[in-house]
Structure 1
Amino acid sequence: MRILFCNIAWMDYYKGIVPGKDEPKNGGSYVKDTKDAHEKYNFKPEHLKLMGFLEGEYCLGFVETKSTSVGKRNQLNIEKIEGCCDLKGDTEVDDVLVVYCALYPDSFDKETYVVGWYKHATVYRRYEKLEFDTEASDNERSDNESAADEKYIQLYNVIALKEDCVLLPRSQRRKTFWRVPRKKKGVAFGFGQSNVWFARGEDDNKYLSDFLDRLENQIETYDGENWIDRYAE
């Protein structure tokens, strides 16, 4: 199975930042310095008409790739996804299981857990972007604001149909069976310093193979609550 693990900031709903109710945590220096996170809309469905896709509701996923020394964002090396080694010249790959993970707030041991996933996702090598209107109306606009101020640009490198997306309820995330390893002494696989983990090499690592088989089965058979339509109250 094509699978990609993505490390993002922790939020409850991922429908945008709601001060005091849903704010990003554990997202690295950018989140710490700006109190913002590009992945804040990862589980906010949007009705879209895009070339090459059926009209419908989609989730747009963001994971930060490392930047170069000159400040440019690196590409996401989609050819490193299992079974995609021949795609070095391609700009996207289809039918990927993308598993979003985050560090649990106030964790003492860098506990990383699955927060949700996209099945049958398209993953892009470089960021795509879409422009959306904000929710502010003309009546709410101040004298110094223009219509352009009410637009925001959403960057994304993953897209999937809403029906293929699941956001786990917060109470369900900190379970041992949703924990995802980080490489360290005594642990031979898992997230390293990068925000993406391609989970390759299961043919040579029984522990990795068993982990992936178990997690893929949990995702495939999950029939619990889905917070995809849940917003901060």
Structure 2
Amino acid sequence: MDYIFCNISWMKYYNGITREDQPRHGGHLIKDPSDVFEKDNFRDFNGNCYGYVRTGGDILLDKHFRSVPQGAKELQGVTVVFTAALNEEESRIVGWYENATVYREMVSLPLYEEDYLYFNFKAKVTDCTLLPEEQRTFSIKRSKSSTPQKGASKSNLWYAKSEYGRTEFIPKVHSFIRDYEGPKVAIAILENLKEALPMEDLSLVSYEDLLKTADDLYEEEHYKEAVLYYQAALLKEATYEAGFGLANAYCQLNAFSETIRIAEDLLKTFGESRELIELLYVASDVILEKDKAPGYFRRLNELEGTPLSDREYYDYLNEVTDLFRSYGQYLR
């Protein structure tokens, strides 16, 4: 089993920077968090987690792993362990990816407008574990050396290749990961939300009240809770309004494939509407569904009264196809 260790900032959820979750280093707030790209390391983005560590250059896979051919661009099946400084002398394991793909060069994945996802690692969200803060008990003493005999390297990326690392430290980490059965932060959207319902007696609540609660939660940007109430409303009445609300909430949670599945079911059942086609276009565009996005883009413009010329359509089709060739592998 190949291991990579990454020193990153300390956060509670690694699901974006919020007022309640600010990145820290050594117990101190980072004054300018604008380039703390590890802030999204445990965000479920359409079934994957994308991990970042500041490397200062390429990850030289062929230098650090014997099985890798010279100049290899990626290595699969790696366990990536994320550590963060609790103070100046001690780090803790905050989480890990198993069965991860490590990329030689950092990937800058374009999302929407000028937003990008920066990452060095990718793993299925079901192979990713983020520990609650109180469960971050695996302590690693911080070394002052970039090539320590014991303890964590001061470098952001390290491999525990010393005699101690290979014979003692990595086996301890392996046992900790293998045997961990404590609580985990719930990061997998579909695994935790699909078919889940609110914790109340739904027989006492009407469809109308469930839908209103769901809509209110959505407007307040409590998308996970909104999903529960939309799903409960759909059990009462399988309406377009509840279905569209559910698809929209999943879209806000970056569950784009699930958004498309629900929205296309609505399209078959209730027929098309501008808002439904727009949602299908947005979701398919983000994940570069080159066989769907161009058609929804064309139809959306027709519904808005501004039909595309053939040139405009093929310009967009070629753009999506080119992006898919460059980035599609990272979204699957």
Give me the TM-score of the superposition, normalised by structure 1.
0.72
1:200 Cα shift?
1.3
* Counterpart amino acid of residue 58 in structure 2: Q
Deviations 1:65-107 (A, max 9, x none): 12xxxxxxx11122244434x4331010010000000001xx2
Q: Is 1:64 aligned to residue 46 of structure 2? A: no
Question: Match of 2:84?
Answer: 102
User: Secondary structure of 1:227's match?
Assistant: coil
Aligned residue for 1:5? 5
Q: How does 1:14-53 map to 2 (within 5 A)?
A: 14-19=14-19, 21-26=20-25, 31-34=30-33, 36-47=35-46
Contact 2:6 2:80 in 1 (8 A): yes
Structure 2 distance, partners of 1:118, 1:215, is 13
Q: For residues 197 and 226 of structure 1, what CA distance do their matches in structure 2 show?
A: 25
In the TM superposition, what whole-angstrom CA distance separates every residue of 1:114-133 from its partner, at most 9, and x where no partner exists?
A: 00000000000101122334
Matches within 5 A, 1:66-105: 66=56, 74-84=57-67, 86-104=68-86
Cα drift, residue 188 of structure 1: 2.0
Structure 2 unmatched runs, 5+? 190-221, 223-332
Equivalent pairs, count = 188
Counterpart residue number, 2:173:
215
Cα distance 1:43–1:170, how it changes in 2: closer, same or farther (>3 A)?
Answer: same
Q: Identity rate of aligned residues, in percent?
A: 34
Give the deviation of 1:34 after TM superposition: 4.1
Scaled by the length of structure 2, the TM-score of the pair is: 0.52
Q: Which amino acid aligns with 2:127?
A: D
| Cα deviation code 1:144-164 (max 9, x no counterpart) | xxxx3xx51011010000111
In structure 1, the gaps of 5 or more residues are 48-56, 67-73, 134-147
AA in 2 matched with 1:227: V
Q: Give the number of the structure whose residues are more often strand, by fraction.
A: 1
Which whole-Å CA distance do the structure 2 matches of 1:179 and 1:82 have between them?
A: 25
Partner residue in 1 for 2:121: 158
Task: Give the number of the structure with larger relative contact order, counting CA–CA contacts within 8 Å between residues 6 or more apart.
Answer: 1
| Correspondence for 1:194 | 155
1: distance between equivalents of 2:160 and 2:31?
A: 28
CA root-mean-square deviation: 2.8
Asked whether the 8 Å contact 1:44–1:228 carries over to 2, the reply is: no
Is the partner of 1:171 in helix, strand or coil? helix
Q: 1:179: which partner in 2? A: 139
Instruction: Give the conservation status (yes or no) of the 8 Å contact 1:4–1:81.
Output: no
C-alpha separation between the residues in 2 aligned to 1:164 and 1:218?
15
As a proportion of its length, which structure holds more helix?
2
The CA distance in 2 between the partners of 1:2 and 1:230, in whole Å, is 24
Partner Cα distance (1:114, 1:80) in 2 = 25
Q: Work out the CA distance in 1 between the residues paired with 2:123 and 2:188.
A: 18
AA aligned to 1:99 is V
One-letter amino acid of the counterpart of residue 78, structure 2? V
Mapping for residues 127-166 of structure 1, pairs under 5 Å? 127-133=106-112, 148=113, 151-166=114-129
* Alpha-carbon distance change, 110 to 87 in structure 1, aligned in 2, over 3 angstroms: farther
